C-alpha cells in the first residue's frame, strides 16, 4: 500500500506539472491547448534523437527543453493569432479545434517518421529505501526535479514582478492593461513556459517509464483531467489535483486494474465539473 502511495506521489507530481502549463495558458489567454501532450512527446523525441546522435544527456535534455519552448512560441506566433482576435466562448472553441488539428499533425508526423521512436532515460545505481519501500533512483530524481520546478514556479509567481504581472493578467486582464502590462506578451511568455514544462515532464517521465510516440493523447488526457479537477487557471490546484489523482490512480490500478482506474480518474473529473466547476481550490463566483 505504501509502495502504491509513493508511486502515486511520483506520478502525481508529474501530472501536476503537466497540468500547470495547460492551466496557465487557459487562465491567462482563454486558450485550451489540446496539443500539450504532443508537444511533450515531440520534445521527448528531440532528446532521443540528440542522444542517438551522441550528445551528452544534459545537452540533449537542454535541447529538448528548448524545443518545447520553441513549440510554444510557434503556436503563439502562428495559429493562435486569429484566436486572439476572438473573445469568450468562441475563442476557447476555436483554440480547442485548432490545437486538436495541431495534435493530429504532430502525432501523425511522429508516427510516420519515427514510428518506433521512444525516449527512456536510465539512471544507474541501486534502489533507495524510503519508508521501508525500495524506490528506483530514476523515480526519485524525477520527483526531485519536479518538486524543484514547482518551488521555482512558486517563487517566480510570488516574488518576481514578472510573475506578479502574469498573475494580475489572470485576475483582471483590463486592469492589468490599465497599469501598463501587455496581456499578449505575458501570454507569449506563458506559452513558451508551458512548452518548456511539457518537455520537462516528458524528460522526467522518461526516467520512470519509456515515452513512445503514441503517448501524446494519454498525456493530454491526464493533463486535461488534472487541470479540470484543479480548476482552470489555478497552479496550486493543479499540484493538489495531480497528487490526489496520481495516488488514486496508482492505488486503483493495483487493486482493480488499469482500465477501471482510468475510468475512476475520468469520473473524478466529470464529478468535479458537475459539482465544483471552479475546481478543488476554486472560489465560486
Partner 1 sequence: MSDRPTHSAGAFSLGGVEAHASRSLPRLLLPIAAVGAGLALLPLWLGHSRVLMGVAVLGLAYVCYTIAFNVIFGSTGQLFLCVGALAGIGGYGGAILADSAGWPIAASILAATLAATLTGGLLSFVAVRRSLGVIFTGIITLIFSLSFDALVLGLGELTGGDTGRLITSGAGTLLRDKIPPYYLMLALALLFLLVHGLLRRSHVGWAFRALRDDEVAAELAGVDVARYRVYAALVGAAMLGLAGSTYAFTEGRISPTTFGFGEVDIVVLVMLGFGGIGALFGPIVGAVTFTIVDEILIDFGQLRHVAYGMLIILLFLRLPRGAIPTLAGLWQRRRRPKG
* CA neighbor of 272 nearest in space, from 262, 282, 263, 260: 282
Instruction: Answer yes or no whether residue 267 interacts with partner 1 by CB under 8 A.
Output: yes
Q: Find the shortest distance in angstroms from Cβ 164 to partner 1.
A: 23
Question: Please, which residue, 3 or 96, has the CB nearer to partner 1?
Answer: 96
Instruction: Answer yes or no whether residue 177 interacts with partner 1 by CB under 8 A.
Output: no
Q: Rounded to whole angstroms, how far apart are CA atoms 125 and 251?
A: 27
* CA neighbor of 216 nearest in space, from 14, 19, 34: 34
- Collapsing DSSP states into helix, strand and coil, what is residue 180? coil
String marking each residue 5-44 x if it binds partner 1 according to CB under 8 A: ---------------------------x------------
Q: Find the shortest distance in angstroms from Cβ 102 to partner 1.
A: 7
Integer distance in angstroms from the first to the last C-alpha of the chain? 39
Q: Rounded to whole angstroms, how far apart are CA atoms 273 and 271?
A: 5
Which part of the chain contacts partner 1 (CB under 8 A), choosing from 56-64, 86-94, 142-150, 153-161?
A: 86-94
Instruction: Answer yes or no whether residue 255 interacts with partner 1 by CB under 8 A.
Output: no
Instruction: Answer yes or no whether residue 276 interacts with partner 1 by CB under 8 A.
Output: no
- Residues 6+ positions from 43 with CB-CB distance below 8 Å: 64, 65, 67, 68, 71, 195, 198, 199, 202, 203
Count residues near partner 1 (CB under 8 A).
48
- 87 is written with which cell numbers? 473573445
Give the residues lining the site for partner 1 (CB under 8 A).
32, 79, 81-82, 84-87, 89-90, 92-94, 96-98, 100-109, 111-112, 115, 184, 217, 221, 224-225, 228, 257-260, 262-263, 266-267, 269-270, 273-274, 277
Amino acid at each position: 500500500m505504501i509502495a502504491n502511495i509513493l508511486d502515486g506521489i511520483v506520478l502525481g507530481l508529474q501530472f501536476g506539472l503537466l497540468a500547470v502549463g495547460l492551466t496557465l495558458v487557459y487562465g491567462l489567454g482563454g486558450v485550451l491547448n489540446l496539443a500539450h501532450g504532443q508537444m511533450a512527446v515531440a520534445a521527448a523525441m528531440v532528446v532521443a534523437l540528440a542522444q542517438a546522435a551522441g550528445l551528452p544527456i544534459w545537452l540533449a535534455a537542454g535541447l529538448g527543453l528548448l524545443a518545447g519552448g520553441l513549440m510554444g512560441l510557434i503556436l503563439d506566433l502562428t495559429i493562435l493569432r486569429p484566436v486572439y482576435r476572438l473573445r469568450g466562448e468562441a475563442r476557447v472553441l476555436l483554440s480547442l479545434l485548432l490545437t486538436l488539428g495541431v495534435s493530429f499533425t504532430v502525432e501523425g508526423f511522429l508516427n510516420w517518421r519515427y514510428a518506433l521512436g521512444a525516449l527512456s532515460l536510465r539512471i544507474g545505481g541501486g534502489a533507495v529505501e524510503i519508508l521501508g519501500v525500495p524506490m528506483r533512483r530514476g523515480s526519485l530524481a524525477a520527483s526531485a526535479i519536479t518538486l524543484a520546478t514547482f518551488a521555482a514556479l512558486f517563487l517566480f509567481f510570488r516574488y518576481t514582478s514578472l510573475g506578479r504581472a502574469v498573475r494580475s493578467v489572470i485576475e483582471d486582464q483590463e486592469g492589468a492593461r490599465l497599469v501598463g502590462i501587455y496581456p499578449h506578451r505575458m501570454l507569449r511568455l506563458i506559452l513558451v513556459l508551458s512548452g518548456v514544462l511539457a518537455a520537462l515532464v516528458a524528460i522526467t517521465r522518461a526516467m520512470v517509464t519509456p515515452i513512445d510516440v503514441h503517448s501524446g493523447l494519454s498525456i493530454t488526457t491526464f493533463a486535461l483531467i488534472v487541470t479540470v479537477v484543479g480548476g482552470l487557471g489555478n497552479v496550486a490546484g493543479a499540484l493538489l489535483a495531480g497528487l490526489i489523482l496520481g495516488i488514486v490512480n496508482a492505488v486503483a490500478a493495483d487493486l482493480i486494474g488499469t482500465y477501471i482506474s482510468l475510468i475512476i480518474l475520468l469520473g473524478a473529473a466529470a464529478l468535479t465539473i458537475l459539482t465544483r466547476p471552479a475546481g478543488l481550490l476554486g472560489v465560486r463566483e
